[in-house]
Amino acid sequence: MFDLFSILKWLKDHELASTWADVSGFLIAIFGFAATLWNVRSSKNAAIKAQEAAQAARDSIRRFDTIVDFSTAIAVLEDIKRAHRENGLSTGLPERYATIRKQLIVLRASSADLPEEHRTVIQNAIANLSTMETQIDKAIAGKSELPVAKFNSLLSRDIDKLVDILIGLKADQEKQP
């Protein structure tokens, strides 16, 4: 171990310290500077961890919102199928189609982390809804019949694919810490 007197003698010889107070001040300054550096590094690491935790929370909320949006879209599509069966052709149908189509467009655009195959499913559902809305408008104008069975078959297929995506999203959400 260091011989404290030899250190003091060296400091005095080099005119760095003349008393024990000078030595203790010198040592306090060195240890204080080292402690400051240690605390700065710890603070930086804590800030990085806090930033990562905040990002993880934002990602979790975004995934949860996506799950809710998918669930809502599926429920609305089921409601439209029910309306086809119960009411057949009604003047409120085009508006419902337009509303769910817009919701799916927003869902596709706002869910940046969805794989391309999921985006394709959403795009196909949007295209089907657009085509059906056009046919409903023609039927309301009296220019054609409403093919309820065909529409419900297409809606059922789209719903099934959206449910598959929803199940995958829920499973991914459960895996996240």
pLDDT, tens digit, for every residue of 23-39? 677 778 888 888 888 88
Q: At what angle do helices 93-110 and 116-140 cross, to 10 degrees?
A: 160
> Cα(62)–Cα(46) distance, rounded to whole angstroms?
24
**What residue ranges define each of the domains in the chain, with the CATH number in brackets?**
56-175 (1.20.120)
Instruction: Answer whether 165's CB lies under 8 Å from 70's CB.
Output: yes
User: pLDDT for 31-76, tens place per residue?
Assistant: 888 888 888 888 888 889 989 888 888 888 888 888 898 899 999 9
So what's the pLDDT on residue 76?
Answer: 92
So what's the pLDDT on residue 18?
Answer: 66
User: pLDDT for 133-168, tens place per residue?
Assistant: 888 888 888 877 778 889 899 999 999 999 999 998
> Cα(93)–Cα(15) distance, rounded to whole angstroms?
94
Residue 2 in this model has a pLDDT that exceeds 70: no
Q: Nearest CA to 97 among 154, 162, 169, 160? A: 154
User: pLDDT for 91-144, tens place per residue?
Assistant: 788 888 899 999 999 988 887 788 899 999 999 999 999 999 888 888 888 877
